[in-house]
Amino acid sequence: MNNSITLRKSLLTAAVAAAIVVPQGSLFAQTGNDIAIEEIFVSARKRDESYVDVPVTISVFTAEEIESAGIENPADFIALTPNVTMVQVQNAGNSFVTARGISANRNTEMSVAVLMDGILMVNPAQFNQELFDVEQIEVMKGPQGALYGRNAIGGAITVTTKEPSDQFEGKFRVGADSGDGYNVQGVISGPLGESNTLKYRAAVTHKNTDGFLDNTFLGQTADPFEDTSVRLRLIWDPSDTFRADARFYSSELEGGALYYNIRSPNPEPFPGAPLSLGRGAGDPDSVNDTSLDIRTNNAGRNDRDLVNLSLKMDWELENGTFTSISSYDTMEELLTGDAFDFIPIAESIGVAFGFPDQNQSQYFDVEAWSQEFRFTSPSEDRFRWIAGTYFVGTERFVSTGAMVDTGGGVFPVFNSPRGAFPFDFATDSVNPQASFLADFQDNFAWAVFGELAYDVSDATEVSFSLRYDDDTRENTTKTPTAFLPNVPGFPQGFTGEKREESWDEWQPKFTVRYKPQDNLSYYASVSRGFRSGGFNQTGVGAVAFSSGFLGVGDTFDAEVVDTIEVGMKGQFNDNRTRANLSLYRSEAEGTYFFIFLAANSTQNLGNLNEVEYQGFEFDLTHQISANADFNLGIGYTDSEITDSDTPADIGDKAPNVSGYTFNVGFNVHWPINAFGNGVEGFFRTDYQILGETTFFDREQADTNDRDDVHLLDFRVGVQLPDDWSVTAWGKNALDEEYHTEYSTGGFVYKATPARFGLDFVKRF
């Protein structure tokens, strides 16, 4: 790691040197009414509107802010959004968002709807991807199901990439990071042929880093990462009445995974436990103890391939716009690595008691299509409306299994187990299968939706949105019967067994907006959000019950959230200040919680009967001068479980909820006259606090709370003539040590430590 230490020192030196050349006395020299925040337009209600006009709590990141803040993946912009957090877990496809306390988890539907260029993501594993060549990001909070459908239960996120340009342009970036890594990115765009009716934009990014977390047993990093992503957009605009937008996206990711530690609230979890299992040193808040080294004897592996094809077509008609959106997605993800208890074989609890140590493999193969039709009336009409319908079909195969760890490495398992049950050493002398579950799901969902908005007066708008979603899912058991975890006294599963469930819900939203002046509005809304239920893998319900976990079955139920919200937003101080304040109260039924069952190495969802949430958000952006601005965001969420099948849950906080979030950022640029005309320095720093975060633990009498987490990021550099720039950056620059996750059984996952980098960019 000597090279990375040298690079880190060089980057810090570059950052200090760049800051020193700030010309004294010139930073805030320019003031006056000519300095204003640029007006922002958003598409939160599926039509372009001014930020102030939209009666939704929304955080917006423009192209300029995306670049200045170094936003390159979802975690980057979520860190700047009040009351929204992201839990990063064992693999890229399972990282998930918590919005206003409404959380997702592994292998579940998302807590927020996510749209890329107007295309709704149908697979949660697509969300955590590289963001490059992006024009704008909008984060809406509160149930948005009336327009965005099932799974918009906590909000909606829209990401808009840059459109093809009328003239040829491009961008090239190359950089390095302190994990002995590098990145390369290229973009070209322009017209095809003589006219501007057909335009293209092609973007590619490649990242490769050795990682930042050491596995002290293997003598290598635990979190290597390599991703190659490609996007191509074609826009055909042959007339004033028709436009077609075709999009291709592909991503190939290889990374580390499953480098867990196991924490325990007791030095000796049970009599006779080996010393290696006394993992909490008596600390009842064991999630906060980060002293354990990563010591898995198998290097975790995470391979994920994503492909998306989509076509959006708009016809401008006399009475409005008719839109058709077609999309096709594939996702394949493989996960292998160590299994419980994530320490070397000789120290394993299983070996200590005469049982074999294990490793594991999980495989996903998903194919989905979707189709949306909608008609949108003109935005300038006093009476405005939207009507549409949506269809989505998904085929999903998942297999999960544990194998005897013989020390020969981990072998991936796809559709079939390695030999017969149990421990078929004759067939496979290395890693014979210990447990195996496989299921195939065939899902079809459809919806109809609409919105009516009417300007009662010049200052007052009332709107009503309504959507009906119906989701039918069929699960076929592909597990060989011998491997099914059948428990006496419970229904016995069998290979080929089919289970079918349907969930449906009306999702209304009623909103009143009062706008007494052009730059100020007040709003109030009542809304409902809905998230479908689903299937755990066959047989886990009986295993969960026999292990003492209630509320966990082969099927988990849908979740419904009702929310009341009031807010205000506006631009003040000669349009130099933009602010938003909102207060909300939500009541949820069927809130998800996560349980890992070590008995068959499965990840499962259960439901809490009722949970209540309440809180507020405040965010502010202020233009200090022509070359300096700052932003501030505060979010607060109070949650309480009010009904559960497990009485001990009642009164606890909901899973994965941070009590508050705080972020503040400062951004400045200035001319460096000593280097000649056209040379400009820039500096941005962002400071974030994640308040005390509740993690669910069914093995303790109470939840397990993580203390406040403090994170500092910075970017400093120089803009040179001829569109060259050099940027030094740091993330988690203060090297805060914390766990991104804790789950039942004491599983903790280390956060990425401090990392630094240097980027060179050329635009042409």
The pLDDT, as a whole number, for residue 378 is 94
The pLDDT, as a whole number, for residue 426 is 78
Q: Look up residue 125 and give its DSSP letter.
A: G
Q: Look up residue 569 and give its DSSP letter.
A: E
In 3-state terms, what secondary structure has residue 82? coil
Percent of the chain with pLDDT over 90: 66
What's the mean per-residue pLDDT of the chain?
Answer: 88
- Which pLDDT band, with edges at 50, 70 and 90, does 549 fall under? confident
Alpha carbons 479 and 494: distance in angstroms, whole number: 8
The pLDDT, as a whole number, for residue 93 is 67
- CA geometry: angle at 450 spanning 448 and 453, to 5°? 175
CB 751 within 8 A of CB 732: yes
Q: Per residue in 96-112, is it b (16+ CB within 10 Å) or e — as a string?
A: bbbbbbbbbbbbbbbbb
Alpha carbons 586 and 654: distance in angstroms, whole number: 12
And the tokens for 299? 């290097």
And the tokens for 416? 């079939």
Alpha carbons 618 and 621: distance in angstroms, whole number: 11
Q: Does the bond joining 645 to the residue before it have cis omega, within 30 degrees of 0?
A: no
Q: 399 vs 597, which has greater pLDDT?
A: 399
The pLDDT, as a whole number, for residue 601 is 62
C-alpha radius of gyration, the chain, whole number? 26
- CA geometry: angle at 754 spanning 753 and 756, to 5°? 140
- Tell me the per-residue pLDDT of 3-22, one tens digit each, with 9 for 90 and over: 444 444 444 444 444 333 33
Q: 120 vs 735, which has greater pLDDT?
A: 735
Is pLDDT of 283 > 60? no
- Tell me the per-residue pLDDT of 362-418, one tens digit each, with 9 for 90 and over: 999 999 999 999 999 999 999 999 999 999 999 999 999 999 999 989 999 999 998
In 3-state terms, what secondary structure has residue 67? helix
Is pLDDT of 25 > 70? no
And the tokens for 590? 């069927």
- Tell me the per-residue pLDDT of 705-754, one tens digit each, with 9 for 90 and over: 899 999 999 999 999 988 999 999 999 999 999 999 887 777 888 999 99
Is pLDDT of 23 > 70? no
The pLDDT, as a whole number, for residue 558 is 92
Strands 747-750 vs 739-743: parallel, antiparallel or unpaired:
antiparallel
And the tokens for 283? 């600390």
Supply φ then ψ for residue 104, to 5 degrees: -105, -165
SS3 content of the chain, % helix, strand, coil (to 5): 10, 55, 35
Strands 155-161 vs 113-116: parallel, antiparallel or unpaired:
parallel
Give 271's contacts (C-beta < 8 A, 6+ positions apart): none
Mean pLDDT along residues 217-239: 96
Q: What total number of domains does the chain contain?
A: 1
**Which residue blocks in 608-723 are alpha helix, DSSP H?**
none
The pLDDT, as a whole number, for residue 504 is 95
Give 145's contacts (C-beta < 8 A, 6+ positions apart): 113, 151, 152, 153, 467, 469, 507, 509, 527, 528, 529, 530
What global pTM score does this model have?
0.90
In 3-state terms, what secondary structure has residue 741? strand
Q: 419 vs 139, which has greater pLDDT?
A: 139
The pLDDT, as a whole number, for residue 300 is 92
- Which pLDDT band, with edges at 50, 70 and 90, does 107 fall under? low
**Sequence letter at residue 87:** V
Residue written as tokens 């327009």? 147
Give 480's contacts (C-beta < 8 A, 6+ positions apart): 417, 421, 436, 495
Q: Distance of CA 407 to CAs 335, 352, 359, 360, 568, Å?
A: 18, 16, 10, 13, 61
E-only strand ranges, 626-679: 628-643, 657-658, 660-671
For the residues of 572-620, what is the DSSP string, one character each? ETTTTEEEEEEEEEEEEEEEEEEEEETTTTEEEEEEEEEEEEEEEEEEE
- Tell me the per-residue pLDDT of 603-621, one tens digit each, with 9 for 90 and over: 778 889 999 999 999 999 9
And the tokens for 744? 């039942």
**Sequence letter at residue 632:** L
**CA 37 centroid distance within chain:** 29
Phi and psi based region of residue 337 (left: phi greater than 0; alpha: psi -120 to 50; beta: remaining): left
In 3-state terms, what secondary structure has residue 117? coil
The pLDDT, as a whole number, for residue 106 is 72
- Which pLDDT band, with edges at 50, 70 and 90, does 698 fall under? low
Give 377's contacts (C-beta < 8 A, 6+ positions apart): 319, 320, 383, 384, 385, 386
CB 682 within 8 A of CB 669: yes
**Sequence letter at residue 378:** P
**Among 63, 30, 31, 35, residue whose Cα is nearest residue 575:** 35
Q: Distance of CA 579 to CAs 56, 390, 572, 628, 630, Å?
A: 13, 35, 8, 17, 12
Mean pLDDT along residues 346-358: 83
CB 375 within 8 A of CB 136: no
**Among 718, 636, 707, residue whose Cα is nearest residue 680:** 718
- Which pLDDT band, with edges at 50, 70 and 90, does 599 fall under? low
Alpha carbons 463 and 362: distance in angstroms, whole number: 46
Mean pLDDT along residues 267-283: 48
Q: Look up residue 656 and give its DSSP letter.
A: T
The pLDDT, as a whole number, for residue 4 is 46
Mean pLDDT along residues 202-231: 96
The pLDDT, as a whole number, for residue 87 is 82
And the tokens for 294? 């990563």
**CA 477 centroid distance within chain:** 29
Q: Show the domain range for 191.
A: 2-763
- Which pLDDT band, with edges at 50, 70 and 90, does 598 fall under? low
Q: Look up residue 287 and give its DSSP letter.
A: G
And the tokens for 322? 């008719």
CB 171 within 8 A of CB 763: yes
The pLDDT, as a whole number, for residue 341 is 85
CATH code of the domain containing 399:
2.40.170.20
E-only strand ranges, 377-496: 383-404, 433-455, 460-477
**Among 226, 224, 202, residue whose Cα is nearest residue 211:** 224
Q: 574 vs 507, which has greater pLDDT?
A: 507
Q: How many CB atoms lie within 10 A of CB 142?
A: 28
CB 331 within 8 A of CB 304: yes
